[in-house]
Chains A and B, each alone.
Chain A
Amino acid sequence: MNTLIDIKNLNLYYGTYHALKDVSLTIPEKAVTAFIGPSGCGKSTLLRTLNRMNDMIAGTKIDGRVEITGTDIYSNEVDVETLRKKVGMVFQQPNPFPKSIYDNIAYGPRLHGIRNKQKLDEIVEQSLRQAVLWEEVKDFLKRSAFSLSGGQQQRLCIARALAVNPDILLMDEATSALDPISTLKIEELVQELKDRYTIVMVTHNMHQAARVSDQTVFFLNGEVVEFSETEQLFSNPTDQRTEDYITGRFG
């Protein structure tokens, strides 16, 4: 599989706190990569460096390189707006805008200059279909996004991220606020989406990582401890700490 994201010797500091320590990783395209590890080990932090959402936190310092298809995303050649268009993100809590379902999906395309009503209609339908939400909401697109259930809202947020046509989708514990059935739906959705998108997901649910992902990265205290095929990592970890974590002996 081709490498899409190449992280090289990445260090990140929140003020004086060293949150990511010399992280080097390659993330293959059109596959699901899962980040696992105990709370506070830097999974979200690493995820947010991939679409530069950390830029907005005052006092963060970064060194090292994050290359996507060979271009360093922290160099001057890259506009952060373009980066975020190409690298979509779904958050832990569903966070729809207080607007209609339609306007939520159309928000992104409108930002990037699409005004044509017909084109927007197309994008909205296509994105909602991809997020397997279309059949449930097609008759009331004008209704407030807040009228949806939590699980539907999260799929709406996925559809909203897809609407700007990204290549990469980052999901930070996207199912942790949801019930088991909604969680299952989103896991199925991720399976479908990986044919077309590169997906990086953070999860605390080891079974979810095992079920859904192709590669798994195990973090501890800001360092990558182990990175391999999911099957390999869960059945035959090479590092003692990984084994302790996945068998529940600490963390």
Chain B
Amino acid sequence: MSILQDANRQQISKRRKIDFILHILFIAATAIGIVALMALLVNIMVDGLSRLSPELFTNYPSRIASKAGLKSAIVGSIYMVLIMAPISFILGVGAAIYLEEYANKNKFTRLIQLNISTLAGVPSIVYGILGLTLFVRGLGLGRSLLSGSLIMTLLILPIIIVSSQEALRAVPRQRRDASFALGATRWQTVAGSVLPSAMPGVLTGVILALSRAIGETAPLVMVGALTFVAFLPSGIMDSFTVMPIQIFNWISRPQEAFHELAAAGIILLLALLLIMNFAAILLRNKYQKNL
């Protein structure tokens, strides 16, 4: 008898059947997700594409749907990112460097670590409440662009810290040893050897965190980023609005025309997020090549 002839053919065919059924099941699971997403996209496209015109970028919000645009919201979102990006980069990466490169690994730092990881999952509305107390009232910054940006900074800080820590941790120990063995101080090692290797990973995290902030609404509703702003903020203490809030405002109106405007706004927002995620992926690929 050949060694390839086995008495167990029946058992094998049963195993194959289970394999086949599960295979189908997994495809179905994937398909449901994709179909739902496609349906959503198609629905939004159908509603919004006709409204996607240059006026959307150049007009201020208006009570008349045909004249309404996203100008103040787009500029508000951009300003917010411009304020947020440097602050959250410095604070987030700084904290990550401290935790990974300087701090001793003891109970206290483990507690901090646990806290940061937990904070990354706290609902955003909670940050809104915190911001309302701390920035709007406490520091008397009012319902300003600065307050909103600072709240968003707090919101994405834990995400940036955690992702930067991961990027730092991925730098091989030998690279630090090589630097220390040449007589480098801790900071020289971080700046000259660790950060250059970790930077693409760090930036990827920062971009993804910023893109999360661009799409967030709840904390800004809390501090009242005004929904009807027919002017551009002239300074950081001015009131402002951002894209998701304007979209939210349009959606909640009864007229069909405003719903279409909202859909156009969503397309814009999605395109923006897509571009940012794409940039993050490009960076990550570059990173992997360098390792």
A residues contacting B by CB (< 8 A) are 51, 53, 56, 58, 81-85, 88-89, 91, 93, 95-99, 107-108, 110-112, 157, 160-161, 164
Contacts and interface: CB of A to CB of B under 8 A. Distances in A.
Given A58-B105, A111-B192, A95 B180 contact: no
B177 A97 contact: no
Given A93-B174, A98-B196, A98-B290, A111 B181 contact: no
Given A58-B104, A98-B290, A111 B183 contact: yes
A230 to B, nearest CB: 26
A84 B186 CA distance: 13
Interface residues of B, number: 21
Interface of B: 104-105, 172, 174-175, 177-185, 188, 192-193, 196-197, 290-291
Given A107-B192, A111-B192, A91 B177 contact: yes
B177 A95 contact: yes
Contact of B174 (A85, A91, A108): A91
A84 B183 contact: yes
Contacts of A88: 181-182
B183 A82 contact: yes
A108 B182 contact: yes
Contacts of A82: 183
A95 B279 CA distance: 30
B175 A95 contact: yes
B194 to A, nearest CB: 10
B183 A112 contact: yes
B26 to A, nearest CB: 39
A53 B180 contact: yes
A81 B197 contact: no
B175 A97 contact: yes
A107 B179 contact: yes
B183 A164 contact: yes
Contacts of A97: 175, 178-179, 193
B175 A85 contact: no
B184 A95 contact: no
Contacts of B188: 111
25 contacts: A58-B105, A82-B183, A84-B180, A85-B182, A85-B183, A88-B181, A88-B182, A89-B181, A91-B174, A91-B177, A95-B172, A95-B177, A96-B178, A97-B175, A97-B178, A97-B193, A98-B175, A98-B290, A98-B291, A107-B182, A111-B184, A111-B188, A160-B182, A164-B182, A164-B183
B180, B185, B196, B290: residue with the most chain A Cβ atoms closer than 10 Å: B180
Contacts of B192: 107, 110-111
A82 B177 CA distance: 16
A95 B178 contact: yes
A127 to B, nearest CB: 12
Nearest to A144: B290
Nearest to A103: B192
A93 B177 CA distance: 11
Contact of B178 (A51, A91, A110): A91
Contacts of B177: 53, 91, 95
Nearest to B291: A98
Contacts of A89: 181
Nearest to A93: B174
A99 to B, nearest CB: 8
Residue of A58, A83, A97 contacting most chain B CB atoms (<10 Å): A97
A104 to B, nearest CB: 9
B106 to A, nearest CB: 9
